[in-house]
Structure 1
């Protein structure tokens, strides 16, 4: 009888695909209010800018807020 090639070795475990971990980036934010814009109608406040930056970082799956300086 002719020798045949085995495609699957029943004794060897199936190869396991290596899992790749998602890269996590350390993020920080910077907010400031220009002296020229201070007090003008429609000028962003520091709190509004801070909230925008924090919401953006939290919305990104691969970002982590590193530190907060007030």
Structure 2
């Protein structure tokens, strides 16, 4: 799970290209020549799950609930 967290950190801090470059660096082969795409929708996790309940179970507060 550490690598997943780091990928998420690179994604949220540096964008999709930074995350792809990090994944390539740690050995997850990705095609970095493909242009990252814009999200076609606004992610709203509160419509899918009760995020506040998940946060209470984990004793953690997400900074960006859409990730």
TM-score by length of 2: 0.23
The structure that is strand-richer by fraction is: 1
TM-score by length of 1: 0.22
Higher normalized contact order (CA 8 Å, seq sep 6+, divided by chain length): 1
Compare CA radii of gyration and give the structure with the larger one. Answer: 1
The structure that is helix-richer by fraction is: 2
